[in-house]
Structure 1
Amino acid sequence: MIRKAKISDAKAVAPLIIQAMGELAYKLSNTSNHDATLELFDYFFKEANNQYSFENTLVYANENDEVLGSINAYDGAKLLELRTNFLNYLSLHCGLKNFNPEPETQAGEFYLDTISVSPAVQGKGIGKQLIDAAIKWAAELNHTRAGLLVETNNHKALKLYQNKGFKIIDEKQFIGGSYHHMVYQISM
């Protein structure tokens, strides 16, 4: 079942965010320490008004309400607003002074930020269900496009998104990595 995330989902969702982000998560936490990185994303998941907040998250939960997958998504026009608290925290607590990453999205797009499924249940269609739910959520908010970034060397994810109807529209550099910017046109 897919549902809106709750603050109490933090312990399950924070590792999923890190899994989706890979090395980017450690660049943002400015440490290779997994526990410190986990603590950072756990903290922000529980907080309002940031891109990793429970407010911007859908989860896939099994019949026991165990979270097995998550997707963070938000209006691209709100990226800078949603980033502000996060970047201020990174500056104060993680030593990332004057850190201003490139925008990964923009106005006119509902941005699918992190999509992740627990390794134990990958390949069972949960990721596809989360993407479908996020596209439906975008349509309910009157968005006509859903966008995401996928690493240029992540062929498995690229194929998944292409099979879901996403098209590569350009390439982006983001915090030192190269990404395909993909968009899904939502029919209204």
Structure 2
Amino acid sequence: MTPPAPLVRPATTQDAAFAAPLIQATIGRIGWALTGVASDRAAAQAIAHHWAQPDHRLSFTHARVLERSGQPLGLAVAYPGADAPALDSFWRARLRALGQPDDIESEGTPGELYLDTLAVVPAARGQGLGARLLAHTAGWAAGLALPRVGLLVEADNPAARLYARVGFRPAGTRQLAGGTYTHLVRPCAFSPSSG
């Protein structure tokens, strides 16, 4: 019997327990830099605690959840790159409140839907779900009248092969949270009638 097709839906505040650990497992040291903590567990707790607030880049308002039969299997967190500095002000204020430097570098670039996080639970990998989320993200960008999707990836990230396969191409490198990342971009099929 063929399993039901997965669907992608907007995230809700109730997705925090699923989303926060998956986001942190994906973003690693960037999550530590944003939250001002030095462990994945503490960073995931901070992300979950703030998930329901709409004014930052890791909010439920910027996330889509991929699920099958009501079971969440993956997610995409994205926002217009031009909004990145404003969305990071929340995390900068958190760092200042913790007595830490607030020198977070915004990741998104104007003119793109910046894909902050793309993640699939380990048990569901290799089933094409990441590609499905990427296709959804391209449609999301077109719906916002943005001509491309952009993301950052480390050289040793196995997802880099998927990104290349679906049309992402290098557009430079960036230094963030002590790591070197390649900025990848993929044009979207945007037309004035699709926005």
Same fold by TM-score, threshold 0.5 exceeded?
Answer: yes
1:91 aligns with 2:67: no
1:178 aligns with 2:183: no
> Which moved further from structure 2: 177-186 or 28-37?
28-37
The CA RMSD over aligned residues, in Å, is 1.4
- Alignment match, 2:112: 109
Change over 3 Å in CA distance of 1:33–1:102 after alignment to 2: closer
Q: Which amino acid aligns with 1:73?
A: A
- Alignment match, 1:162: 164
1:20 aligns with 2:43: no
Per-residue deviation, 1:17: 0.6
Q: Aligned partners of 1:23 and 1:62: how far apart in 2?
A: 30
Q: Aligned partners of 1:180 and 1:54: how far apart in 2?
A: 26
- Superposition map of 1:76-155 within 5 A: 76-93=81-98, 95-97=99-101, 99-154=102-157
Q: Aligned partners of 1:120 and 1:87: how far apart in 2?
A: 34
Structure 2: which 5+ residue stretches go unaligned? 1-6, 191-195
Per-residue deviation, 1:174: 1.2
Per-residue deviation, 1:162: 0.5
> Does structure 1 retain, via aligned residues, the 8 Å contact 2:34–2:91?
no
> Does structure 2 retain, via aligned residues, the 8 Å contact 1:150–1:181?
yes
- Alignment match, 1:43: 49
> Does structure 1 retain, via aligned residues, the 8 Å contact 2:29–2:177?
no
Q: 2:58 pairs with 52, 69, 80, which one?
A: 52
Per-residue deviation, 1:106: 1.7
Indicate the SS of the match to 1:114: strand
Change over 3 Å in CA distance of 1:44–1:182 after alignment to 2: same
Structure 2 length as normaliser, TM-score? 0.89
Count of aligned positions = 184
- Alignment match, 2:17: 11
Indicate the SS of the match to 1:153: coil
Q: Aligned partners of 1:13 and 1:147: how far apart in 2?
A: 21
Per-residue deviation, 1:38: 1.6
Q: Percent of counterpart pairs with the same letter?
A: 33
Q: Which amino acid aligns with 2:80?
A: D
1:75 aligns with 2:77: no
> Does structure 1 retain, via aligned residues, the 8 Å contact 2:30–2:176?
no
Per-residue deviation, 1:46: 1.4
> Does structure 1 retain, via aligned residues, the 8 Å contact 2:75–2:120?
yes
Q: Which amino acid aligns with 1:83?
A: D
> Which moved further from structure 2: 33-42 or 66-75?
33-42
Q: Which amino acid aligns with 1:76?
A: G
Per-residue deviation, 1:75: 0.4
The CA deviation string for residues 122-179 of structure 1, in whole angstroms up to 9 with x for no partner, is 111111111111111110111101100001222x211110101000011111121101
> Does structure 2 retain, via aligned residues, the 8 Å contact 1:44–1:86?
no
